[in-house]
Chains A and B, each alone.
Chain A
Amino acid sequence: MARMKFLCDSERCIECNGCVTACKNANETEWGIQRRRVVTLDDGEIGKEVSISVACMHCSDAPCMAVCPTDCFYPTEDGLILHNKDACIGCGYCLYACPFGAPQFPKQGAFGARGKMDKCTFCAGGPEEDPVLEEQKYGANRLREGKLPLCAEMCSTKALLAGDAAEVADIFRERVVYRGHRNSAWSSVEHEAAESEQLAKNAADLAYDATQSV
């Protein structure tokens, strides 16, 4: 069974906001709702600026699901976290728990009362039998059509990757190997020159990994 994931390659993201636009267009979200956003850190500082596209990360242990008073979230077979808008009461707890700021609320009532929560569905629609209703409520269901989320499909630099976690990881791993990996990309350990032999071995291992399909 596939486990769907997004991955944004921060070396490639150029903050064009194409993913944001593509998402809004694919899902025809309500006014004021932006399911995906690009965050630029150290904006304008030469050599330090990094942009990353963020939306729902479809967590394995989803905080939104854990705190929802109506338990309206559910995991799908593809490892996505979807939600039932009929059961949503707009309390905002999911927004307070989510690390990525994914849940969005349309302002519908008086005194800032929130409408039904809206968030990225990985272009997988929602719990509605009727496809027309599904599209109105939850946006596109591209997965059913055999397509991936439009944000990733439209990404001009292929910074944003979406799909089966193993495949996405393979693509990214290949990029890391090509770029070389002082301290192995994610590691925080400072390697000594004497460990260069181990580094070469790691590189060989990773290069081998990158040739494997899974």
Chain B
Amino acid sequence: MARYQSVRDIKAWLILLLVVLMALPATVLAQQGADARREAFQSMPGTQPSFWEDAMQGVSGRTQSNSPGADTLIMVEGERWREIRNQWISPGGAIALGGSLLAITLFYLLVGKVKLEHPRTGRKVERWSRWDRTIHWFVASLFIILAITGLSILYAKWFLMPILPTSVWAAWMTAAKNIHNYLGPLFGLGVLAMIIKWLKHNFFNMVDLKWFLKGGGLVGKGHPSAGYLNGGEKVWFWMIVFVGLTVVISGLVLDFPNFGQTRETMQLFLIIHAGSSLLLMAAAFGHIYIGTLGTEGAFEGMKTGYVDESWAKQHHDLWYDAVKNKTKS
């Protein structure tokens, strides 16, 4: 009997063992299933910090949209462009223009107009041909229009918008943009013509070096010698060449957005365009001052084409001598 008893015990134990062994995989599997699902959730790409770090760096993917740059989830350059434009270009340009005006005003008040040293002789010398004057005033008037419209686009929202009714404001800004866009290329042609026409007068020589050393007549006694164009005029010419052409070329890139330029290209050229044109405007204030209020007898040269003999002798003595010899012989 005891023997049977132990056999029964063993049977019971075996059954228990079987039940336990059968139950064990089920719980393990269930546990594994939950872990696997959780693992899957937690390892999906969108939950990985690295994925969002990449997205914030501006990765590109695929999209059905045909807009330029639509395949980029986050364009990171925009924020930098905004900062450069709003924190540097805008205030920097205002400081440059304001500073230029202030310097000119101070110069006018302290030094005053450069007067003719000798009374007018009444004899006229031709300085600017009809062609010269046409090109000059073509470029000059376009420059002023482009400056006013361009400055409107950069600054007018700070001072014009609060005082105008929305409809007038909108009409002015639309006009400003269209005028700026359509006249820009014409300005470019004018600048090119100007450069070609006047290039031959504008190579620097030793006379210009002496002119610069005497500060164009401000340092030391007596007016420094100058040929047809003095050192200052040549500097202005080369500013037109380098800064002016930069303005023109960057403007053309912005003006014709139909060649598939990316947003990043446009940002770069907007900064170049704004920066260089503000620089050119600040310098143009000086040019305008010297050509009008600053120098007695200078404006009539570009207005009529002729300057007075005593003006020519005072400001461009070498050129005056050359013209005199030419007419004698």
Q: Which residues of A contact B (CB under 8 A)?
A: 10-11, 17, 20, 32, 34, 37-43, 47-50, 52, 54, 63, 66-71, 84, 86-87, 89-93, 95-101, 104, 107, 111-114, 179-183, 185-188
Contact = CB atoms under 8 A, between A and B. Distances in A.
Contacts of A10: 45-46
A22 B85 CA distance: 36
B73 A41 contact: yes
Q: How large is the interface on B (under 10, 10 to 19, 20 to 34, 35 or more residues)?
A: 35 or more
Contact of B75 (A42, A67, A91, A98): A98
Contacts of A185: 47
Interface stretch (B55-63, B207-215, B221-229): B55-63
B173 A89 contact: yes
Contact of B44 (A11, A20, A41, A90): A11
A40 B63 contact: yes
A70 B45 contact: no
Interface stretch (B114-122, B151-159, B295-303): B151-159
Contact of A96 (B38, B41, B259, B266): B266
Contacts of B53: 188
Given A32-B66, A38-B63, A41-B73, A96 B78 contact: yes
A69 B153 contact: yes
Interface of B: 38, 41-42, 44-47, 49-55, 59, 61-67, 69-76, 78-79, 81-82, 85-86, 152-154, 156-157, 161, 166-167, 169-170, 173-174, 176-177, 181, 255-259, 263, 266-267, 270
A94 to B, nearest CB: 9
A92 B38 contact: no
Given A67-B85, A89-B173, 8 more contacts: A38-B64, A52-B73, A71-B157, A92-B266, A98-B75, A99-B75, A99-B76, A181-B42
Nearest to B167: A86
Q: Tell me the interface secondary structure of chain A in the complex.
A: loop
A108 to B, nearest CB: 12
Q: Which of B46, B153, B154, B181 has the most CB of A within 10 A?
A: B46
A181 B85 CA distance: 41
A138 to B, nearest CB: 16
B166 A86 contact: yes
A182 B82 contact: no
Contacts of B181: 113
Nearest to A12: B46
Contact of B41 (A50, A71, A180, A186): A180
B153 A41 contact: no
Nearest to A187: B49
Nearest to B185: A111
B59 to A, nearest CB: 6
B64 A87 contact: no
Contact of B157 (A69, A84, A112): A69
Contacts of B63: 37-40
Contacts of B50: 188
23 contacts: A11-B47, A20-B65, A34-B67, A37-B64, A37-B70, A38-B63, A50-B45, A50-B46, A52-B73, A63-B78, A67-B81, A69-B173, A70-B161, A70-B173, A71-B161, A89-B173, A90-B177, A91-B153, A92-B266, A101-B67, A112-B259, A179-B38, A179-B47
